[in-house]
Amino acid sequence: MGKNGLTNRQPERKVGLWIFYICGFFFVSFFVAPLILPEGSVTNISGRANALDFATSDGFASSGNSEESLLLHSHEDGTIHTHNEFAWTELDPYTGFIYAFGDLNCHNKHERSWEINGNQMPVCTRDIGIFLGLAIGGFVFSRRGYNRWTIKDTCLSIIPDNWLEKIYRGNHRTIAWLGLGMLFCVPLIIDGFTQLLTNYESNNFTRPLTGGPFGMGLGILIASMYSARPVKFDSASQVELPGGAKFELQKESEEE
């Protein structure tokens, strides 16, 4: 019998491993793609997040190759850089797919990205940290996560039960869940608001360090969303919770 009252946690393990494999694939590919391209194939590009800028050199989704975009002002040192025209549709299927993914999901700012083999990576350093965190979060959940009826309680299941006994006895689950989420988000929040409110500028060392915890928390949350399945239980009272706590379903009484 598992600590959630069920005899089988194979679904939770599969969900966690799927997140680990998918996000791990992208994380590794962000390093492999620029490494296997010819040196200097992708240099000093800068686009927009949630938009396609480098699909073609001239035509569909090519705003990153427009005349004004070919001159890029570096945010770090104020100097002007130029980049060669770049189109991921002209690459091989593997590297084209990875750079297309980065083009759509990341701003691709040159000053916020690393270079490998003279090629700019497909995503910025913050996203590198986030995807590493996503993979770690999925792996952690595959080992420690349990379906406990609700997303909230499924997230908390990664924490040892003896740490949660007082929390469940006092029914402080929501506070604990929000606190856990904030713990993963605080480094990113501090880094972002410090840049907004002061002259501080984050760098390519702190960005992945703050993105990592956020990604880990997001990975655990996603795994919990797919793993929290009340249908697996005969009733809410079957769910085993820390400290001997039990769910009670509230029924509204109808007035005659």
pTM: 0.90
Q: Which residue has the tokens 């997140």?
A: 19
Mean pLDDT rounded to a whole number for the chain: 90
User: CA angle, corner 77, sides to 76 and 83, nearest 5?
Assistant: 80
Q: Which of 1-5, 79-83, 139-143 shows the lowest mean pLDDT across its residues?
A: 79-83
Q: Which of 34-38, 53-57, 60-64 shows the lowest mean pLDDT across its residues?
A: 60-64
**Which is nearest to 111 in space by CA: 99, 98, 126, 129?**
126
Report CA torsion sign: 125, 127, 133, 138: negative
Could you report the per-residue pLDDT of 24-43, keeping only the tens digit for each? 999 999 999 999 999 999 98
Higher-pLDDT residue of 110, 25: 25
| Residues 88-98, mean pLDDT to the nearest whole number | 97
| Residues 98-104, mean pLDDT to the nearest whole number | 97
| Residues 6-11, mean pLDDT to the nearest whole number | 94
Report d(CA 163, CA 105) in Å as an integer.
38
Q: Read off the tokens for 42.
A: 């992708």
| Residues 156-163, mean pLDDT to the nearest whole number | 96
Which SS3 state, helix, strand or coil, does residue 71 take? strand
Please give the C-alpha separations between residue 241 and each of 8, 11, 25, 229, in angstroms, as whole numbers. 16, 19, 35, 15
Q: What is the reported pLDDT for 200? A: 83
Do residues 127 and 106 touch, judged by C-beta distance below 8 A? yes
Could you report the per-residue pLDDT of 197-211, keeping only the tens digit for each? 888 888 999 999 999
Do residues 126 and 207 touch, judged by C-beta distance below 8 A? yes
Higher-pLDDT residue of 45, 132: 132
Question: Which percentage of the chain shows pLDDT scores above 70?
Answer: 90
Q: What is the reported pLDDT for 255? A: 47
HSE-CB at 191 with a 13 A cutoff on CA atoms is 19
Q: What is the reported pLDDT for 79? A: 59
In the predicted model, is pLDDT for residue 176 greater than 70?
Answer: yes
